[in-house]
Amino acid sequence: MACIRLKENCEFNGESTYRHVNTHLPNYARPRFIRIKSAVELTATFKYRKVQLVEEGFNPAVIKDRLYFLDDKENLYVQMTQDIYNSVKNHVFKL
């Protein structure tokens, strides 16, 4: 999973992000999930807070941020839904 913050007045484009990731990263390094945060929290020593993100995982019922899933069949990042989450948990989608 990658957690990112978009620039001001920018929108996430799942198709162009997929093309960029597919072109520049090997298959094993491509993030299967992208989480869009309005602000990235830092610790007192200016490190990213990752523990809470790891604990929350990728369940859309838990996460309030926008979350996208890498759909290799459609060649784009799609908005994460409860159906996709259930398919991943039941091994219908192979990660």
- Looking at the structure of the chain, the number of domains it has is 1
Residue 57, domain member (yes or no): yes
pLDDT of residue 45: 83
Higher pLDDT, 60 or 51: 60
Q: Are 46 and 17 in contact (CB under 8 A)?
A: no
Separation CA 63–CA 50 (nearest Å): 14
Does pLDDT of 50 surpass 80? no
The confidence band for 93, taking pLDDT boundaries of 50, 70 and 90, is confident
Q: What does the mean pLDDT of the chain come to?
A: 88
Residue 95, domain member (yes or no): no
Range of the domain at 50: 2-90
Separation CA 57–CA 32 (nearest Å): 12
Residue 12, domain member (yes or no): yes
